[in-house]
């Protein structure tokens, strides 16, 4: 049973797909943010249900997986080679940072280069924070997460994907 203040995170695939289905407002908002990242939907729903049922560390794990879809999208946009992306978060972030340096060092600048480097720099910072603060710690003991922290991270992932959508990143 989901206690009342956590209902806003609960969802089911059947309810989500039903024309008059009811899901929690927080997961509903996150799923709207993920419309350009359909493969991230499963982990987002799992994260919400983990919060709904009091499994906060598991929620953070699923949120990290969800965020990885955004990381890969940004890395592809930054021309990070597939083999480098397959090596994980560190290589993706290094590849994004390498693209920023490449753009900044070119004598003939591309159109809107300042805007492009700002977007990539901001997103590289987001992903570095997620990697260092969530991804790495959630994978090792004894780190655990509280309800407040998991809920805050849930909101942060929504903010991240809102930003990715505004910048027209896609899965």
Does pTM top 0.75 for this prediction?
yes
Write the pLDDT tens digit of every residue in 43-89: 999 999 999 999 999 999 999 999 999 999 999 999 999 999 999 99
- For all residues of the chain together, what is the average pLDDT? 92
pLDDT (mean) for 137-144: 76
Question: 171: pLDDT confidence band, cut at 50, 70 and 90?
Answer: very high
Within 10 Å of residue 4's Cβ, how many Cβ atoms? 7
- Please enumerate in sequence order all residues whose Cβ is within 8 A of that of 31, keeping only pairs 6 or more positions apart, or say none: 11, 16, 23, 41, 44, 45
How high is the pLDDT of residue 143?
76
CA distances from 161 to 14, 34, 40, 143 (A): 24, 6, 10, 25
How high is the pLDDT of residue 109?
67
pLDDT (mean) for 109-120: 84
Helices (H), the chain: 13-17, 25-33, 41-52, 56-77, 82-85, 89-105, 113-130, 136-138, 147-166
User: What percent of the chain clears pLDDT 90, i.e. is strictly above it?
Assistant: 77
Comparing 25-39, 56-70, 78-92, 141-155, which segment has the lowest mean pLDDT?
Answer: 141-155
Tokens for 33? 């943010």
Q: Are the beta carbons of 44 and 35 closer than 8 angstroms?
A: no
């Amino acid at each position: 049973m989901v206690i009342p203040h956590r209902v806003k995170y609960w969802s089911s695939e059947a309810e989500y797909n039903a024309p008059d289905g009811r899901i929690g407002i927080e997961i509903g908002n996150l799923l709207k943010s993920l419309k350009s990242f359909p493969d991230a939907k499963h982990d987002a729903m799992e994260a919400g249900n983990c919060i709904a049922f009091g499994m906060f560390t598991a929620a953070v794990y699923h949120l990290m997986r969800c965020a990885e879809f955004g990381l890969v999208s940004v890395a592809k946009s930054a021309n990070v080679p597939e083999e480098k992306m397959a090596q994980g978060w560190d290589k993706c972030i290094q590849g994004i940072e390498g693209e920023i340096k490449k753009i900044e060092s070119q004598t003939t600048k591309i159109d809107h280069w300042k805007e492009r480097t700002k977007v990539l720099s901001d997103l590289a910072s987001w992903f570095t924070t997620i990697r260092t603060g969530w991804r790495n710690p959630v994978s090792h003991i004894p780190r655990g997460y509280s309800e407040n922290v998991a809920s805050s991270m849930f909101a942060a992932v929504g903010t991240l994907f809102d930003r990715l959508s505004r910048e027209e990143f896609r899965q």
